[in-house]
Amino acid sequence: MYRDGENPAEGSDEEPELKVRVSNNKLEADLIVKNMPEGQTLSEKAVDGLLTGQGVVSGICKDNIHNYCTGKDYSQPLVCAKGTPPQDEGRAELKFMFSIEHKGLPSERADGTVDYHDLGIVQNVKKGDVLCRIIPPPPGKDGIDVFGNAVPFKKCRMPSFPTGLHTVISKDGLELSAAISGCIDCRKYILNVNETFVIKGDVDNSTGNIDFIGTVIVRGDVMEGFSVKAGGNIAVYGMVEGATLQAVGSITVNNGINGLSGGGISAGGDVESKYIQNAVVRAGGDVYADVIMNSNVKVRHCINMRGPKASIMGGSCCAGRQVYAKKIGTANNVRTNIVVDSKEFYDAIMGNSSSAAQTNSLKAAITKEYVRQKSLRKQMDALKQLIKQEGRSPKNVIRMKVLLQNSRESEKRVENFSSKISEIKDATAVSAADFNVIGLKVIYAGTKITIGTESMNLSSNYNNMKFYVEDGKITSGPPLPSDEKNF
């Protein structure tokens, strides 16, 4: 009898024992021959039949079988079939699109020198920027065992994103992006995008210059020669000495600004500081301080002095609308220039004659549109009656749509005209007297006041006085109750 696929050998009536052994992973089949009569050979046909009978149909090693059968040495097992092993997926890679190991080293300039003020500790990103990306592994491929069955490949374990605040994963799961504009805060397993960058100490050699797309908070001082730039606001808990601050928003300095004849302060919004000394300050809004001394200050709106001193001493201060202080100048007559100058001031001086003409023209246009709307309503009412009698024919439907569209367009034009009239009224609501210089206690001799094109050099002190332009000349008078500010 034959067992386990046994077949007789050629040229013999005796029956050797033939057995097919398959590996555990089914990727290799061996032929084991026992009790082969001496001088007899094993036929290839017999081996093929044995393998087929056992279901071994893939990866047949024809050359191995031929050599084995003709070699007449059956003492060792024969590898008679080899499957195709699967090609497992490679390793996926998590690639960071920014530096994850900040060493705080100085940057190298184009000429090869080193900038010790640029340590690059702030890594800015914009909304939508890719923070990190998963690089998928090379694709795997299924194998085939000796029985012709597929052997699935092993999939790799995909890395996880270090998700944190203000980050978002793409739909395909392969990219982590910034949900807002800000700076990168990368820790071991967390990646945040922060709207605010906080310096826990001073801005000095340990931090280098700061350039951030959002708001910057400095809990210490900003030292001489360093700069802080922000796409939002800047808040300094300490003081600023000979440094440069630039903000798209506002700047607040708790303990004061000393320019030390260097640096400068520039803000798109307000600037607020305890004092401003020997500094250049530019603001797109207002400036608030207790003391301004020997500084060059220029603002779009108002310079508002508040605090126990509320004084401007020396230097030059220019405001688009108003300079408001308790004291202006000094008792020893140090030269102090106070200027009020802006396009809005000249618009107020010119009066509202042209504005009145524009308003009348817009009102006439509104009246014309009202007449047109009345006509359109009559046409629609007549068409509705016609539809009731004749039905909703395509022609009538189209006519109604046209009338409705014309009516909506006319209403929109009326809204635009009315909005322009309101804008003109707001623009002409300001009078020339609203552009002024106010000294609640005293404005000292030696102060030069310029409002628009008119100037006045004060040769004596003025107490509790407001200066403004009237009839083309600078005039003065006591401040009105409406001029008082509660700081």
Residues 75-89 have a mean pLDDT of 91
Percent of the chain exceeding pLDDT 90 equals: 56
Q: What is the pLDDT of residue 1?
A: 25
Looking at 95-104, 125-134, 238-247, 459-468, which range is the least confident one? 95-104
Closest CA to 218 of 230, 235, 243: 235
According to DSSP, the β-strands at 244-247 and 264-267 are parallel
Closest CA to 203 of 231, 232, 230: 230
Residue 61 identity: C
Residues 287-312 have a mean pLDDT of 96
- pLDDT of 19 strictly over 60: yes
Confidence at 101, pLDDT banded by 50, 70, 90: low
Q: What is the pLDDT of residue 225?
A: 92
- pLDDT of 14 strictly over 80: no
- pLDDT of 114 strictly over 50: no
How far apart, in whole angstroms, are the C-alpha atoms of residue 2 and residue 247?
A: 93
- pLDDT of 122 strictly over 90: no
Residues 3-27 have a mean pLDDT of 69
What is the torsional sign of CA 178, 179, 181, 182?
Answer: negative
How far apart, in whole angstroms, are the C-alpha atoms of residue 385 and residue 320?
A: 62
Question: Could you say which DSSP state residue 138 is in?
Answer: P
- pLDDT of 8 strictly over 50: no
Q: What is the pLDDT of residue 482?
A: 82
Q: What is the pLDDT of residue 121?
A: 81
CB 288 within 8 A of CB 323: no
Strands (E), 172-310: 175-178, 182-186, 191-194, 196-199, 210-212, 215-218, 227-230, 234-236, 240-241, 244-247, 251-253, 257-258, 264-267, 271-277, 280-283, 287-299, 302-305
User: Rg (Cα) of the chain, in Å, rounded?
Assistant: 44
Give burial (CB, 10 Å; 0-12/13-18/19+) of 212. buried
Percent of the chain exceeding pLDDT 70 equals: 90
Residues 86-109 have a mean pLDDT of 75
How far apart, in whole angstroms, are the C-alpha atoms of residue 209 and residue 202?
A: 11
Confidence at 3, pLDDT banded by 50, 70, 90: very low
Confidence at 2, pLDDT banded by 50, 70, 90: very low
Residue 432: helix, strand or coil by DSSP?
A: helix
The residue behind tokens 């004291």 is 327
Residue 117: helix, strand or coil by DSSP?
A: coil
Q: What is the pLDDT of residue 326?
A: 96
Looking at 39-43, 90-94, 133-137, 321-325, which range is the least confident one? 39-43
Q: What is the pLDDT of residue 26?
A: 93
Confidence at 6, pLDDT banded by 50, 70, 90: very low
Domain range annotation of the chain: 17-82, 93-138+156-194, 352-427
Structure tokens at 466: 């407001």
How far apart, in whole angstroms, are the C-alpha atoms of residue 245 and residue 421?
A: 40
Question: Which residue has better confidence, 151 or 397?
Answer: 151
Tell me the CATH class for 93-138+156-194.
Answer: mainly beta
- pLDDT of 351 strictly over 80: no
pLDDT digits (tens, 9 = 90+) for 422-451: 887 776 656 778 899 999 999 999 999 999
Q: What is the pLDDT of residue 470?
A: 87
Computed over every residue of the chain, the mean pLDDT equals 87
Confidence at 110, pLDDT banded by 50, 70, 90: low
pTM for this model (two decimals): 0.66
CB 456 within 8 A of CB 474: yes
Strand order in the sheet with 28-34: 17-22, 28-34, 78-82
